[in-house]
Structures are given as structure tokens and as C-alpha cells.
Amino acid sequence: MLEAAIEALVMILDPQRLPFMFLGIAMGLIVGILPGLSGTVGMSILLPFVYGMDPYTGMALLIGMAAVLHTGDTFPSVLLGIPGSSGSQATIMDGYPLAKSGNAARALGAAFFSSLVGGIIGGITLFLAIPVAKPLVLAFGSPELFMLAVLGLSMVGVLAAKNARHGLLAGLLGLMLGTIGGAPAVSEYRYTFDWIYLFNGIPLAVVALGLFAFPEMVDLLAQNRKISSKTKLEGSWKDGIVDAIRNKWLMFRSAVTGSLIGFVPGLGGSVVDWISYGLAKQTVKNSDSFGKGDIRGVIAPESANNAKEGGALIPTLLFSIPGSGTTAILLGGLTLMGLQAGPKMVTTDLPITLSIIWTLVLANIFGAIACILLSKPIAKFSLISAKKLVPFLLVLLLVGAYQSTRHIGDMFLFVGIGLLGWIMKRLDWPRAPLLIGFVLAPAAERYLWISMSRYGFSWLTNTGVVIIGIIIILILSSGTIIKKLNKDKKNNEMSSIS
Amino acid sequence: MKSKKLLVLLLSLTFFAGFLTACGSEDASTDQNSDDGQADGSTDTADGVFYEGETIEFLVPFGAGGGTDTFARFMAPYFSDFVEGNPDVQVVNVPGGGSINGANEFVELREHNGLNVLVTSASTHAPYLLGEEAVRFDLKEMIPVAGLPTGGVVYTSPSTGIESPEDLLNPQEDLVYAGISATGLDLVTLLSFEVLGLDVQAVLGYDGRGPSRVAFEQGESNIDYQTSSAFLTNVTPLVESGDAIPMYSFGQLNAEGDIVRDPAFPDLPSIKEVYVELHGEEPSGPAWEAYKTFVGASFTVQKVFWLHSDAPSDAVDALKQASEEMAQDSEFKEKGGEVLGGYDLYVGEEVDQVVNGMLNVDPEVVDWVKEFLKDNYGVERLD
């Protein structure tokens, strides 16, 4: 295996192939930086060029793009408070407040370093998973997948800790929005009002951009201020890296979580960042500063969303089950190059799988370095006044939203959901629960439906189901327990002083 | 001022975004204007050659990366080579509405000028045949240029105790089938169970054929089917390790409207032979008629390239001729391996025949299928 890995590395580093990886990296960074454009867009742009390439070159191009997407998408999340792609929303929660207080460079430094480490861990996970992937994938039946969706949904409670009622309502609203379109099991269409645009449901990018980006634009314009309250940028990316290293355990933990969630087929990688953010918030000490510019709130999701890509490739390559829009297109790309995802990817086609892993690792390293070099000039965006900045951003956002289906409905819904998001922001309702509900609605419904029609109620006692159930309860209660422990500690200290 | 510089940067970013949009929607698949495809030594001059210097758009009503998209992208450069005049060929994805969106757009918005080609799959044909409300296209009003079949194989788990097709009626455990949706490709499988008289519980709602195969491997289901290429790649290893036993192929509908063995699986009995073995007579009746209809529309004619019926006849001739030559080309066949799944293209008269067969449906059969879906799977939308 090791010998084959080195051989694959030599293949990748072939001077005729290397430029394609860098082309992919450049593409991934640009798509990531432009708000609203996701990996699906990057993939569809690159796909036609893959035709006729040898698989090593083609994969270097496609994987190079996918690997660094979540490194580049940190820029808009931190600097502008708008999601660079659907995988980087959680970074906004703390990255944006940091930028507002003039610490953009520090937040970016920490984010890129975490992305780099996360990406490498994701690649290693993919490598380690090769021999055990089959039993691992087969361990997740529909009941287990349903419970994992519930685990994701439980983050609603974590993220809305202060205002549980509002958070719950927002989560339910998200679940409802997620039911629009074709039902997963019965061929019926729900809430489509005979509008064919809604047959496939509302696109994720439209919801994410509407909820987070539109309200920010409106408020920036209304106040006509710059994003950063200070006129000079403080701190440098080096501070951010130091922050990240100081929180190395969190970074490592988030990366492992990220690649594990990415690996679960059918859950969709779009909530990895939120789950990782929620877990961090629940388990670190003194989490009160989360949401107000805590660097740990940047490290956790950024490490996880890069690690996810490695995990997501396991079911894609070995079982030809795409975990996301990006990997679905990747499967098409494989076919165009004369390969077929399946068990062969770890036997006869193993060199290709290994080259994919190397590309993941290398692209993450180069992508992060490129971003760090770019961070200084790009961080100055936060110093531009809103009147000049917002019109450009609105164009970009509309383009991003319109990319989803290229139907005029994308525009209408972007504005409609944007207004909803703005009202929620004004009323101080948490918006993340709505998004999580929306993303997980199809999976939760699908697997609950299948579990019930296949097993009745007997699935509730499956070992896997019980284990995940216990984990959910632990996560939900851990926040309160840790807080209580801290309080006790403080009380003890107090009493010992007095 | 520095902000001016940034403004310029912003502007260029915006333009770049615009460029991306253009690229994303109209991916230039080929840009070949080489001479090697010149068909019969005709001159390069513009007179008489319809596609000289033109661009053909393949409208794919699915997202990028799917089976139909991959097929269209594979075919694009060959069309560019073989069509007289060597036009550029671009693939355009118009996803949504389970491919109804794109097909509607082809009829209503695209010019009927011979430069627009629609690529459909079984998912487009079934809603048309079932008379879905959203369908505003009429396949009878289009001209098929080329088509491609695929097949399907039903297999069972050893846990059912079924070792050969003759055991199908007496399984040792309840048969459970994991499917996606009763109105999609699964309809053929469900109809095949109905024809054979199998008692199978269908659990629907899976996210695709990949996840339903994993459900089979997990034991969540114990009878499953995969289309030809997926069967060869992903089920053959299971068969070799003894975790799956192939039962029957769906067969192919021939020109006489009869089911014959699938050329990709010459050693596997078709459903018709299995029926004869189980019941001692040839299959007949409404379920069998319905089965044949939908095998035709879903498998025998899985993918079709269409022109508008009022497209210029020069265009129709040029594309038809090009696909006939393409189907004979050895490089095309060789490179087509995975994409074509071991089948030959339908071209010339054959494509007209099979498409006619698919569209020539007895309304009574359609009504029977609607009843079948309503009674067994609660699909009431089609009334």
C-alpha cells in the first residue's frame, strides 16, 4: 500500500499533470471567494474539460477544485458576513464579529491554518478508511441515518441556547420549507402551487444567501458604514495561526468530526460546519463568548468543512453514492474518463484513489498558502464603505443565487427569503436553526419513512440507533453540565478565598 | 486613494462572476473543427452544408454529471466530428422538475431551427406516457435522431433461500424491495413482480439506485435490480462472493413488440422465460401489456436525441447520417465502453421503429397502470 502511495505521488507530481492541479486550485479559490457559488458550480464548469484527459490529470483538476473550495469561501464569511458557499455559514458566527472589531487578518489566519490541517486529516481519513470502508458504510442502515439526521437537528437546540423557543420555531420553519417539492417516497408534490420551479424544492444556495447575505446587505446600506469599525486593521495572520495551534485539540477533534459526517452518505455535507460549531460551543470551557468573536468559533467549522471532503469521497468512490452535489458531478467525471466508481476503486483502480488522496492533501496545503498570501490585500475589503461595496455584492449574490437552477424563481425566492432573514435578524431570532432544519428535512423525512415502512417500530431498539440516541442526549446536556461544573469551580474558589 | 484600486478589483470580480455564469450554463464541450470527420469528401464551402460554421446545442434536462449528461457529453465531440460541416456542439443543462422543465423549455422557448437538440431519458418518457400535468411537450411532435438502450437485472439475496428463478414463488423469508419512486424506473420492477405473481413488499423513498443497492447489502432489502452497467460494476463482485444471485433480466422489446433476452446478458433468462418456467404458459393480460410498454419506454429506449418535428429537413438528414456513421465507428465503440454499457446505438430506421413502439401506447394500458399505481402505491396525482 505504501509503495503504491509513493507511486501515486510521483504520478501527481508529473510536470505535465501538476499544472492541472494548480488550475483546479485556482478555480476552487475563485469559486469559494465569490459568494454563493458552490462546489457544484465549480464542478460543472470544469467537467467539460475533463473529457479525454487521463484519469490522474482529470482527477487532479476536479479534486484540486473541490479541496480548496472551503478554504477560499472563508473570505466572504469572515469579511462580509455572507456565506462564500453553503459550507461556510457557521464561520460567520464568530468570524464576522472578529472582522468588525478589526481582527479580520487574525480570523483569516486561524481559518486558513485550520482548513489546511482539517484538509490533511480528511485525506488521511480517506486513506485509513480504505480497508474498513465497506463494513463502515454497511453499518449505517436507514434507522441509523435517521438518527444521524436527528443528531444534526439537535444542534438547533445548541445554537439557540439563549432563546430556545425562537430557535425551535425557526428550526420547525426550516423543516417545513424543506418539505416543499417532490416528496421523497410517494410521488406527490407538496406546496408547489403548480409552479414547476418548486418541483425540486427550494435550492440550498438561495436559502443560505437569502438568510445570511441579504439582511447584512440591507443593514450595511441603511447604516452606511464600513464593515470594520476601526480604520486600521490590527493583528496579522500569524496571530491567527498561533491561536489555531493553541487550540490544536479542538482543531483535530473538529476535523475528525468533519470527515466522519462527510463520510455518512445521504446526510449531505452542508451542515458539517454547524454541527462542528455546535459541538465546539457545547464542549469548550467559557463558551459564553461564542457568537461575539471567539476565535474558537472560527477554528472548529473551518477545520471540519475541509476535512469533510475526504470523508465524502469514501461512499462516492467505493459505492458510487454521491454525498453532495459536488461528488455527484465527480461521478459523472469519472465515467467520462472511462472509470466507474465501485469496489474496483480499491483494487484495480487503487492508484487513482491514492492519487486523489494526494491531491486532497497537496491542494489543501497550496490552497491555504495562497489564501494566507492573499489575505492581506483582501482583508482591506472590510474598510470600504457600504455605499460602494454593496451594489457589487448584490450583483454577485444574485448571480450566485441564479446559478442554482437558472430559473427566474431563484431571484424571487432570494429576495423573499432575504426579507424573512432580515426580519429575523431585526427581531434577533436565530437564523442558523432555520437553515439546519431546511437542510436536514429531506434526509430526516426519507429515513424515518423508510425505517417505519420497513421495520415498524422495532428499529428503535437497534444498537446503532440507541448509541446515537445516547450521544444526542450527551451533547444536549453537556453544555449545561460544563457550565455547572465551571460555576461550582468558581463557587469553590470564591468560598476558599473567603 | 486605495479604495479606488479596490473598486477596480471589485469590478473585475463582478465581471468574472458574469463570465462564470455564461460558462456554467453553456459549457463549450468541444471546439473541434478538424477535418478528419469529413464524411464523403464533400467540399468545405458553405453552400449546401447545413451545419457549416454553426453551433448545435444539446439541451440536457438534468444536472451536470448525471447519466444523461454524461452520455450527451460523451456524444458531443463525435457529433462534431461526424456531422457534415463540423459544427461546434455544446451541452446545456436545464435541470428541474424531474426533466420536465428542460423538455418543456425545448419545445416552448428554443428555436425550431435544427440547431437545438433535446436529450431525453426514461425519466422524461414516463411522465409523458402517464400524462403528468406539468408536461407541455409532445414526443410525437419530435423527430428521433439516435437512441440508446439499457437493461436491468433482478437479483436476490441468498438469505431468501432462493437459488434459482423457480424458487421465486416460495421464498423462505418475506421479500423486501428497496426502491426510489413507484412512478420512476422502479415501475418496471414493480410491474415485473406483478407479472410473475411475486409477493414483494416495496419500501420506497431511497435516494437513488446506489443507496438502494447498499440497502440490499445491509439486508434492509433482499430483492433488488440494477441497470446493466451498474450491475456489471457493482453487483458482479457480490455475485462472485456469493452475496447475490441473479434471477432474470427485464429483457428488451423487439420490433415485433415481444420481449427477448438482453444482448448484454445473453446467459440470463428474460422475465418471459422465467414466467413460462413458473406458470407453464406464455404471459398475457393487462399487467404483461403494461410491463412491455414500460420496458420499452424505460429500458429499450432509455435515451434519445430529438429534433423538433418542424426542424429543417437538411438538419434532420445531416444528424441522422452522422449518427449512422458514428454507430459504425470502431473508435467510438471502443471508447464508449462504460457510457454505452455494451449496447449499440439505435440509428436510422431502427430508432424510428423503437421510438414508434414506445409512443404507440394503448390508452387502456395507461389507465390500467394508473389504477395499479393508485391501488398499490397510493399515487393519486395522475387521475
Q: Is residue B10 part of a domain?
A: no
Q: Is residue B377 part of a domain?
A: no
Contact A196 B25 (CB under 8 A): no
Do B159 and B281 sit in the same domain of this protein?
Answer: yes
pLDDT of residue B33: 39
Evaluate if residue B199 carries a pLDDT over 70. yes
**Beta-carbon contacts of residue B71 (< 8 Å; ≥ 6 apart):** B119, B148, B303, B339
A residues 105-144 closer than 8 Å to B (CB)? 137-138, 141-142
| Number of neighbours of residue B35 by Cβ within 10 angstroms | 8
pLDDT of residue A82: 86
**Beta-carbon contacts of residue A224 (< 8 Å; ≥ 6 apart):** A385, A386, A387
A362-376: average pLDDT: 91
Work out the pLDDT band at B11, boundaries 50, 70, 90: low
Evaluate if residue B101 carries a pLDDT over 60. yes
Do B279 and B343 sit in the same domain of this protein?
Answer: no
Could you give the percent of chain B with pLDDT greater than 90? 57
Q: Is residue B375 part of a domain?
A: no
Q: Is residue B64 part of a domain?
A: yes
**Measured between beta carbons, which residues in chain A are less than 8 angstroms from residue B184?**
187
Residue B93's CATH number: 3.40.190.150
pLDDT of residue A232: 63
pLDDT of residue B40: 40
pLDDT of residue A497: 54
Evaluate if residue B334 carries a pLDDT over 90. no
How close is the nearest chain B Cα to the Cα of A264, in Å? 12
* Per-residue pLDDT reduced to its tens digit, B351-382: 998 898 888 888 999 999 999 999 998 887 77
Residue environment code for A416-438, b if the CB has 16+ CB neighbours within 10 A, otherwise e: ebbebbbebbeeebbbbbbbbbb
CA distance A252 to A302: 11
**Measured between beta carbons, which residues in chain B are less than 8 angstroms from residue A384?**
3, 6-7
Could you give the percent of chain A with pLDDT greater than 70? 93
Mutate to test the interface with A, among B16, B90, B107, B220 (most CBs of A within 10 A): B220
A residues 297-326 closer than 8 Å to B (CB)? 319-322, 325
Residue B183's CATH number: 3.40.190.10
> Does residue A36 belong to the interface with chain B, where contact is any CB pair within 8 Å?
no
Do B83 and B188 sit in the same domain of this protein?
Answer: no
Length of chain B: 383
> Does residue A376 belong to the interface with chain B, where contact is any CB pair within 8 Å?
no
Work out the pLDDT band at B62, boundaries 50, 70, 90: confident
Of B298, B331, B350, at which residue does a domain stop? B298
Contact B234 A319 (CB under 8 A): yes
Nearest to A335 among B178, B234, B338 (CB): B338
B91-115: average pLDDT: 87
Contact A137 B214 (CB under 8 A): yes
B28-44: average pLDDT: 39
> Does residue B64 belong to the interface with chain A, where contact is any CB pair within 8 Å?
yes
Closest by alpha carbon to A396, among B18, B28, B264? B18
> Does residue A339 belong to the interface with chain B, where contact is any CB pair within 8 Å?
yes
Contact A48 B25 (CB under 8 A): no
Contact B234 A37 (CB under 8 A): no
Q: Is residue B315 part of a domain?
A: yes
pLDDT of residue B41: 38
Q: Is residue B381 part of a domain?
A: no
Do B293 and B167 sit in the same domain of this protein?
Answer: yes
Closest by alpha carbon to B128, among B344, B318, B310, B366? B366
Evaluate if residue B27 carries a pLDDT over 70. no
Contact B96 A200 (CB under 8 A): yes
The total number of structural domains that make up chain A = 1
> Does residue A252 belong to the interface with chain B, where contact is any CB pair within 8 Å?
no
CA distance A426 to A431: 11
- The complex's ipTM works out to 0.84
Q: How many CA atoms lie within 13 A of B369 on its CB side?
A: 29
> Does residue A189 belong to the interface with chain B, where contact is any CB pair within 8 Å?
yes
Backbone angles phi, psi at B357, to 5 degrees: -60, -40
Domain residues for the domain of B179 are: 152-298
> Does residue A406 belong to the interface with chain B, where contact is any CB pair within 8 Å?
yes
**Measured between beta carbons, which residues in chain B are less than 8 angstroms from residue A37?**
17, 20
Do B156 and B286 sit in the same domain of this protein?
Answer: yes
A248-270: average pLDDT: 84
> Does residue B342 belong to the interface with chain A, where contact is any CB pair within 8 Å?
no
Do B276 and B160 sit in the same domain of this protein?
Answer: yes
Mutate to test the interface with A, among B5, B10, B57 (most CBs of A within 10 A): B10
> Does residue A380 belong to the interface with chain B, where contact is any CB pair within 8 Å?
yes
Higher pLDDT, B222 or B15: B222
**Measured between beta carbons, which residues in chain A are less than 8 angstroms from residue B204?**
185-186, 453
pLDDT of residue B219: 92
User: Does residue B247 contact residue B162 with C-beta atoms inside 8 Å?
Assistant: yes
Domain residues for the domain of A156 are: 2-497
Evaluate if residue A216 carries a pLDDT over 80. yes
Contact A51 B74 (CB under 8 A): yes
Average pLDDT, chain A: 86
The total number of structural domains that make up chain B = 2
Contact B218 A141 (CB under 8 A): yes
Average pLDDT, chain B: 85
Do B86 and B200 sit in the same domain of this protein?
Answer: no
Evaluate if residue B23 carries a pLDDT over 70. no
Give the chain A residue nearest B105 (alpha carbons): A407
Work out the pLDDT band at B26, boundaries 50, 70, 90: very low
pLDDT of residue B45: 41
> Does residue B242 belong to the interface with chain A, where contact is any CB pair within 8 Å?
no
Do B126 and B199 sit in the same domain of this protein?
Answer: no
Mean pLDDT lowest among A30-44, A305-319, A320-334, A473-487: A473-487
Contact A343 B234 (CB under 8 A): yes
Alpha helices in A264-349 (DSSP H): 272-283, 296-319, 325-336
Give the chain A residue nearest B174 (alpha carbons): A454
Q: Which residues make beta-bridge pairs with B318?
A: none
Give the chain A residue nearest B233 (alpha carbons): A342
Could you give the percent of chain A with pLDDT greater than 90? 33
B183-194: average pLDDT: 92
A171-178: average pLDDT: 93
Do B132 and B245 sit in the same domain of this protein?
Answer: no
Q: Is residue B383 part of a domain?
A: no
Mutate to test the interface with B, among A37, A85, A190, A335 (most CBs of B within 10 A): A335
Q: Is residue B12 part of a domain?
A: no
Work out the pLDDT band at A134, boundaries 50, 70, 90: confident
**Measured between beta carbons, which residues in chain B are less than 8 angstroms from residue A142?**
215, 220
> Does residue B379 belong to the interface with chain A, where contact is any CB pair within 8 Å?
yes
* Per-residue pLDDT reduced to its tens digit, B278-325: 999 999 999 999 999 999 999 999 999 999 999 999 999 999 999 999
**Measured between beta carbons, which residues in chain B are less than 8 angstroms from residue A30?**
16
Mutate to test the interface with A, among B7, B25, B30, B70 (most CBs of A within 10 A): B70
Work out the pLDDT band at B46, boundaries 50, 70, 90: very low
**Beta-carbon contacts of residue B231 (< 8 Å; ≥ 6 apart):** B152, B153, B155
pLDDT of residue B210: 85
Give the chain A residue nearest B20 (alpha carbons): A45
* Per-residue pLDDT reduced to its tens digit, B224-268: 999 988 898 889 999 999 999 999 999 998 878 899 999 999 999
Q: Which residue has the cell 444521524?
A: A148
